Structure formats: structure tokens, C-alpha cells
């Protein structure tokens, strides 16, 4: 009797955003390359838009091996690795290129390994982009945010950032952001252009201030046990594919965000508020004390390492 062919290893890759975003495209490219190079050995199933698991249950699902890959934003991993708070510090990085340089440094690479003791294995940083503030009223000066409620990801730094401008911060899962903005549970949010467009947030946020005040990037993660259970040759091939996909995601993320910025502005839904350097500096100065509050937890050395990637200053 002919031996039965071994069943392929299944990788369920779940995420919370749409397919046509930097992370969504990355997940699909990963699936495509695995299909080409590991046919019959590995099957990748992609579940976008919180369809399989979402913000509330995805980490437990990964640890229980119900899903094998996620790419949560760095803010959502703080609970497992507090030093990742460095990425949430407001106005720390000048631009996407600076963030990309930091992610290549040893200090950041070490953070990929920082959750090993919790069973989580960091594979790569995937970029989305810098966040913009949106609201149902114009935000030009920090005082304009006072009293408004902003949706945030689960990050104490982001909470402190909005407290610094006398605003309220409300933690909500990504899948609830659109309806919470529409229903008035919150009046504002902070997101990169790609997330604003793909969730149609601009249709319920008449003002967008181009603040570029913080980073929204991801860590591609798996669970230790699953990753180490694979045959070496399969794991090596997957690692090669991940490297290639990571380069593609990080090369194209800025262009996707530029495209989505253009689409939002062309839709006419929202008024764009561009800050003068002095106005931006006012936001920066008001939020800067947050760095000091979190310095002990993050480590002054890590904050310094992040600052050195900026060209100016």
C-alpha cells in the first residue's frame, strides 16, 4: 500500500485590517510565496478584518495555537513587553525612514526576542506608517483637543499622550472604531492614512490634522512551540520568505499611505489641516513630558538609541 502523503502544516494568519493595507498585502504576499515554494508542505490561511479573531482574543488564540501567526501593532504587545512603549512616545521619530532605521538597530532587534519567556516569538517588524489625528471638529492647537474623547489602542503611553492635551482616551478594539466614531462614543482617533481609508473613518471624521505625531507599526509574531515544531528545512524556507515579504511591506508601506491620503482628500469628505512648524512644535512641547514619565520603564538608553536615528536635532 502506498504511504499516505503527510498532511500540510497549516498556518492560520489572522489580522484586524483590510486586505488592501500594508499589513493585509503582506499577509497575502506571504500566502502566495508559501504556495509557490512550499506547496503540499505548508498551507497559509489568511483571515483579515478580525474575521477569525480580533483584538480581544487574538493573543490567547496564538498562545493556544488556534492561530499560528499575527501581526499586532506594537502598542498591543506592550502588555507582554513594556519596552515596546518606546514606539508609542509622541513625536519621537521624524519620519518613516527614521523608524525603519531604528528597527534595524540592535536595540530594536532585541525587542523581537523580548517575549520569548511568554511563549511569543517575534519574526519581523512590519511598517504601516505615521498617525494622523482625526476629529469631528478642527484640531490646530493642542487646546482644541481639550475635552474630546479619542479612541486609543491599549497603551498607557497613548493614554498619557492624550491626557497631556487634556483630552480623554478610550481604549476600543479596532473593529469598533468606525461605529464608535459614527455613534459619537468618541469624537476623535489617531491612525495612519491606510487605516482611515480602509475603515471609512474619514466619512465620519470631517477634520484630519496631518500631525505625523506617532508610529503605527507591527510585529509579525508566532508562538515558540509551533515555530520550533516544524522541520528545520521548512522553517528555514519560511524564514527566507518572511525576510522577502518584510522587505516588500516596508518598501511599499509609505506609498500605500500616500495613495490613501490622496484618495481621502479626493473624496472631499474631510478638511485637511496642515500644521505650521510652530503649531506642530506646540503639540510636541505639550506632549513631551510623556517621555519623562515612561523613561524609567522603557530605559533612557533605548529612548536615546531611538533619538539617534533622526537626522535633525
The pairs formed by 61-66 with CB atoms below 8 angstroms and a separation of 24 or more are: 61/14, 62/120, 62/221, 62/222, 62/223, 63/119, 63/120, 63/223, 65/223, 65/225, 65/226, 66/12
Contact 68, 11 (CB under 8 A): yes
Query: Given candidates 14, 16, 59, 303, which one binds ligand LMR under the rule CB under 6 A?
Result: 16
Integer Cα distance of 307 and 119 in angstroms? 30
Residues 204-263 that bind ligand LMR (CB under 6 A): 216
Integer Cα distance of 24 and 27 in angstroms? 5
CB of 100 vs ligand LMR, minimal distance in Å: 17
Q: Choose the binding region for ligand LMR from 15-23, 25-33, 158-166, 178-186 (rule: CB under 6 A).
A: 15-23
Residue 17 binds ligand LMR (CB under 6 A): yes
CA angle centred on 146, ends 142 and 151, rounded to 5°: 95
Paired residues of 67 in beta bridges = none
CA proximity to 245, closest of 214, 218, 263: 218
Closest CB to ligand LMR among residues 177, 242: 177
CB of 182 vs ligand LMR, minimal distance in Å: 16
Closest CB to ligand LMR among residues 191, 223: 191
Contact 305, 93 (CB under 8 A): no
Residue 174 binds ligand LMR (CB under 6 A): yes
Residues 25-54 that bind ligand LMR (CB under 6 A): none
Residue 73 binds ligand LMR (CB under 6 A): yes
CB of 128 vs ligand LMR, minimal distance in Å: 6
Q: Count the residues in the chain.
A: 313
CB of 17 vs ligand LMR, minimal distance in Å: 5
Provide the 3-class DSSP secondary structure of residue 106. Answer: helix
Residue 153 binds ligand LMR (CB under 6 A): yes
Provide the 3-class DSSP secondary structure of residue 124. Answer: strand
Residue 199 binds ligand LMR (CB under 6 A): no
Closest CB to ligand LMR among residues 68, 128: 128
Integer Cα distance of 218 and 73 in angstroms? 4
Q: Choose the binding region for ligand LMR from 1-9, 16-24, 98-106, 111-119 (rule: CB under 6 A).
A: 16-24
Provide the 3-class DSSP secondary structure of residue 170. Answer: strand
Residues 125-144 that bind ligand LMR (CB under 6 A): 128
Query: Given candidates 103, 155, 161, 195, which one binds ligand LMR under the rule CB under 6 A?
Result: 195
Q: How many residues bind ligand LMR (CB under 6 A)?
A: 10
Binding positions for ligand LMR, rule: CB under 6 A: 16-17, 23, 73, 128, 153, 174, 191, 195, 216
Amino acid at each position: 500500500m502506498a504511504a499516505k502523503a503527510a498532511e500540510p502544516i497549516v498556518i492560520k494568519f489572522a489580522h484586524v485590517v483590510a486586505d488592501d493595507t500594508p499589513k493585509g498585502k503582506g499577509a497575502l504576499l506571504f500566502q502566495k510565496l508559501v504556495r509557490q515554494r512550499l506547496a503540499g508542505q505548508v498551507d497559509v490561511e489568511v483571515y483579515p478584518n478580525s474575521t477569525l479573531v480580533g483584538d480581544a482574543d487574538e493573543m490567547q488564540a496564538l498562545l493556544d495555537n488556534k492561530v499560528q501567526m499575527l501581526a499586532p501593532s506594537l502598542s498591543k504587545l506592550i502588555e507582554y513587553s513594556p519596552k515596546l512603549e518606546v514606539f508609542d512616545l509622541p513625536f519621537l521619530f521624524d519620519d518613516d525612514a527614521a523608524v525603519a532605521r531604528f528597527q534595524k538597530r540592535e536595540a530594536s532587534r532585541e525587542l523581537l526576542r523580548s517575549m520569548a519567556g511568554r511563549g511569543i516569538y517575534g519574526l519581523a517588524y512590519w511598517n504601516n506608517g505615521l498617525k494622523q489625528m482625526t476629529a469631528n471638529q478642527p484640531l490646530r492647537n493642542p487646546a482644541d483637543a481639550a475635552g474630546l474623547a479619542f479612541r486609543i489602542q491599549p497603551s498607557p503611553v497613548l493614554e498619557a499622550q492624550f491626557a497631556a492635551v487634556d483630552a480623554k482616551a478610550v481604549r476600543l478594539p479596532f473593529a469598533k472604531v468606525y461605529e464608535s466614531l459614527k455613534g459619537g462614543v468618541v469624537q476623535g482617533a489617531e491612525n495612519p492614512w491606510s487605516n482611515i481609508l480602509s475603515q471609512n473613518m474619514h466619512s465620519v471624521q470631517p477634520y484630519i490634522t496631518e500631525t505625523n505625531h506617532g508610529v503605527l507599526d507591527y510585529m509579525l509574531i508566532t508562538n515558540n512551540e509551533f515555530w520550533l515544531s516544524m522541520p528545520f528545512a521548512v522553517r528555514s524556507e519560511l524564514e527566507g520568505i518572511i525576510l522577502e515579504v518584510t522587505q516588500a511591506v516596508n518598501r511599499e508601506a509609505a506609498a500605500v499611505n500616500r495613495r490613501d491620503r490622496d484618495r481621502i482628500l479626493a473624496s472631499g469628505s474631510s478638511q485637511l489641516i496642515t500644521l505650521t512648524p510652530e503649531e506642530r512644535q506646540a503639540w510636541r512641547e505639550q506632549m513631551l513630558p510623556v517621555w519623562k514619565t515612561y523613561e524609567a520603564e522603557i530605559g533612557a538608553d533605548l529612548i536615546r538609541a531611538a533619538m539617534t536615528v533622526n537626522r535633525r536635532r
